[in-house]
Amino acid sequence: MAFKSKAQERFMYARHPRLAREFESKTPEGTKLPERVRRMGAYERAVKRGGEGK
């Protein structure tokens, strides 16, 4: 699994360094990660699945 944000990367290196190195190897070289990733709301999940939002 690759890192999805800088915040996730910092957390993993602080709490689980061995697992963080594995994630780092799977993150494409030169990827610009966002600082944080916002959670999807119900509407966004429905649209992503192909359903219709309310």
Taking residue 17's Cβ as centre, other Cβ atoms within 10 Å add up to: 9
* Tens digits of residue pLDDT in 22-43: 999 999 998 899 999 988 888 8
Q: What is the DSSP letter of 17?
A: H
Domain presence at residue 1: no
pLDDT for residue 6: 96
| Full residue range of the structural domain in which residue 17 is found | 6-49
Alpha-carbon span 34 to 10, nearest angstrom: 12
Domain tally, the chain: 1
Q: Residues 8-26: what's their mean pLDDT? A: 96
From its phi and psi, is residue 30 left (phi > 0), alpha (psi between -120 and 50) or beta? left
Domain presence at residue 13: yes
Domain presence at residue 30: yes
Domain presence at residue 54: no
